[in-house]
Amino acid sequence: MDAYTPQLPDEDNLYEHHAFTVDKGQTPLRIDKYLMNFVENATRNKIQAAAKNGSIFVNDVPVKSNYKVKPFDAIRVLFTHPPFENLLVGEDIDIDVVYEDDDLLVVNKAPGMVVHPGHGNYSGTLINALIHRFDNLPNNSSERPGLVHRIDKDTSGLLVVAKTEEAMAHLSLQFANKTSEREYVAIVWGNVKEDSGTVEGNIGRHPKNRLQNTVFFGDDEDKGKPAVTHYSVLERLGYVTLLSCKLETGRTHQIRVHMKHIGHTLFNDERYGGEKVLKGTTFTKYKQFVDNCLKVLPRQALHAKTLGFVHPTTGEFMRFDSEIPEDMQQCIEKWKVYSKHQEL
């Protein structure tokens, strides 16, 4: 192993920021290049500096940036300060609260807002806003105050937040037992063949790009966790389709991964390749039209529209519905006009 002994502070004062186990199929690759695929917002210079400072460990031994990773290597990135996501600071940020009582609140999250700190987003998050607004929010199993579930940064829509330990336990159990109701609206590439269907496929981290998830099946099925998405067509718009997607499970990027898996990547989902023209013609005017749609909706076309759950104190089933945001609505309208023109 290409290792050396740097000048390290007392190891008791080091904090783990990232930890990976290299996939069994990994070919030899410099660790600085490898980590660029696995650490969000990391530049090669930043990774090389971390290695120079003795912050990157392979199998508990510090390595240089030119160390070549091998299958099953245990990689850890440690620093002398705690992960920023553990240093929570309240911030006076406006949030759209659609319902609130003594036990919980329901928030309509704007697109672009990160739910919890981490991976380069350490301020301006929903949690920063919540801890400014409320004292003593209960922690979930990941030590995140108030969060019962989450949605991605560029996904808009409804979230329930627990204000008491009892509400956290009750609501979390509903999500775990699949008794909560969650409906999303999505624009996906292509004309979805069936009017409705179900996608089942275990979801886990992509073996070569930790910023993505993927579907595992066959002999690799146990690398992912079971995930089920039910979809139905709301409107066919030529080269894209407007879908309703109902979650039976709640895996990270579930709808985004399942839709890509069946050949219908979300419109403008850059992480999964949806920002490219995946369906349509080669005409320049069509490319310009798609570019205009991408500018109108500069994020993945996904909105958490409906949320339902049993109230932890009253036992009443509560259902909340939200309007499709303006950016997504404008994109839908553009495709409606385009598809009608194509039919003429």
For the annotated catalytic residues, the residue numbers are 152
Burial class (CB in 10 A: 0-12, 13-18, 19+), 295: exposed
* Distance (Å, whole) CA 47 – CA 223: 27
Positive or negative torsion for Cα 183, 187, 188, 192: positive
CA atoms in the 13 A half-sphere facing the CB of 152? 21
* Distance (Å, whole) CA 313 – CA 251: 27
Residue type, 185: V
Burial class (CB in 10 A: 0-12, 13-18, 19+), 316: exposed
Distances (CA, A) of 128 to 88, 92, 121, 131, 155: 7, 8, 11, 6, 18
Contacts of 276 (CB under 8 A, 6+ apart): none
